[in-house]
Amino acid sequence: MVKRTQAEAAGRPEDERLGVGKSFTYGIQHVLTMYGGIIAPPLILGSAAGVSPAEVGMLVASCLFIGGLATILQSYGVPFFGSRLPLVQGTSFAGVATMTAIVADGGLPAVFGAVIASAVLGLLITPVFSRLVKYFPPVVTGTVITVIGLSLMPVAAQWAMGNNAKAPDFGSVSNIGLAALTLAIVLLLSKVAVPAISRLSILLSIVVGTVLAAVLGKTDFSKVADGPIFAVPAPFAFGVPTFDVAAIVSMFIVVLVTLTETTADILAVGEIVGTRVSKRRIGDGLRADMASSAIAPIFSAFTQSAFAQNVGLVAITGVRSRFVVTAGGVILLILGMLPILGRVVAAIPYPVLGGAGLVLFGTVAASGIKTLSTVNYNGNMNLVIVAASVGLGMIPIAAPDFYHHFPAWVGTIFHSGISAAALMAVLLNLLFNHLKPGKAGTDPSVFATATRVIDYSDLKAFSQLENGDKIVDGKIVDAEGNPVPVRDADGRPVHYRIGTEPEAH
């Protein structure tokens, strides 16, 4: 089995080996990109549980430790577990609201029990998700990738403003100016002709931005030495998990969202890397997701999922090797056992991360738009699939309280713009491109023809015909055989056949 897998992997771009030095250097970029996201859930949940600052630090270290193990499992892989793609894993933010509600009733043990049980259920249903790959064509993946990038923009903006809304300098000119300066450094270094520098533009800009922040007095490394240097997460440090049915059901909804997002991320990174993503790879990736999520609570961590922001890093740097991400997993593992190193990274000011994040997250959206540019929009409903899915995905960003009065499970699913867009895109693709109960008309919808319509008044001059257009059975069709609608000056469809008079409707 192992030999066959190695043979199948030969020649894939994600299997490129860059050497230990380069792998760990690029791996640091991945860690810095997702560090703020991976420590936010334990900080929020620790505060909600009312534990001591030392115990909050323990939760953070545990999430780093498990995130490292999960990343290694996902990127390096073992038989049946791991997509073997450059995909970083970490504590999912999708379940924070649900876990906060659970912790209010049953404390952290109830949260850990719900995570274990829901992850095991998720592990059992992964074969179903792995068979859905045929329902994720470019019109779906491009939409989801675009929404992933757009949904991350508020995170970058929050970081650029300082991340703490209660701080006196939140949103100050100095914070936003530091973010803008970091952004400028990223762009300038990306333009450098030396490949090593341009590929490390994100890391170098963060280093330079942090140095400038220190000079300006906007960062403080004085507390790095406070606390233990070495600590290994202990099993069941917060007590034995408890299992509540309602809590498990709530977290299982979160798991469904997580599986949807991870499927989208696997397809997204496969598209960016330029490699084939089969049903088997999706299944192996989802199993790694759920297996690491089931083990995480034993070491005081939470549900694991793929990190979308690191997909952007793969796109912007062009470093596609999965071994780079594996090196990043090793670094996370070390950070989880060496809290002092974690405190060094934590000292990087958020405005610096925000400036770099604008480029990273924007690159994700741009990758989605690039994928959508390959979609055929003539004579079908693909345009309305994209429009409705992006619109639904943007609702939580434009109006975070939109689902406030709905049942909790509705908010859990649709409060994530990524999962909302993914679900809508998949369902609409099924409805319009797979379920065809009857023969569609030649002009079923304005959306089906929104990209190209010929004006009948100009038809005789052939000024609107394009290369590849031809006449079939007296009607105009494009290079791909799709009928090209003809309309009059008022926009009404004209049923036109060459050699006959037009009939307007």
Residue 166's CB is within 10 A of a number of other CB atoms, namely 6
pLDDT at 284: 94
- Of the chain, the end-to-end C-alpha distance in Å amounts to 63
pLDDT at 491: 55
pLDDT at 329: 96
Structure tokens at 345: 């990274």
Structure tokens at 269: 């990174």
CA distance 243 to 245: 7
Q: What is the DSSP letter of 402?
A: T
How far is CA 315 from its chain centroid? 12
CA 427, 428, 434: angle at the middle one, nearest 5? 85
CA distance 190 to 148: 23
b/e sequence 180-217, b meaning 16+ C-beta within 10 Å: bbbbebbeebbeeeeeeebbbbbbbbbbbbbebbeeee
Q: What is the DSSP letter of 490?
A: T
Q: What is the dihedral of CA 489, 491, 492, 498, to 10 degrees?
A: 60
Q: What are the DSSP calls for 187-230, one per residue?
A: HHHHH-S-HHHHHTHHHHHHHHHHHHHHHTT----TTTTSS-S-
Q: What is the DSSP letter of 71?
A: H
Structure tokens at 313: 């890093």
Contacts of 52 (CB under 8 A, 6+ apart): none
Structure tokens at 235: 């099993």
SS3 for 455? strand
**Single-letter residue type at 90:** G
Question: Which residue in 306, 282, 277 sits closest to 71, CA to CA?
Answer: 306
Percent of the chain, pLDDT > 70? 82
Question: Which residue in 20, 36, 98, 54 sits closest to 409, CA to CA?
Answer: 98
Residues 422/148, Cβ–Cβ less than 8 Å? no
Residues 254/98, Cβ–Cβ less than 8 Å? yes
Per the document, the length of the chain is 505
Phi/psi at 76 (5° precision): -85, -50
Residues 253/298, Cβ–Cβ less than 8 Å? no
Return averaged pLDDT per consecutive 10 residues of the chain, 505 residues in all: 43 89 91 80 82 80 94 94 94 80 87 95 86 76 82 84 87 93 91 76 85 87 77 89 87 82 87 88 94 96 88 86 95 88 74 86 82 86 93 88 81 72 88 69 52 53 58 68 66 58 50
SS3 for 81? strand
Residues 139/382, Cβ–Cβ less than 8 Å? yes
Question: Which residue in 387, 96, 407 sits closest to 257, CA to CA?
Answer: 96
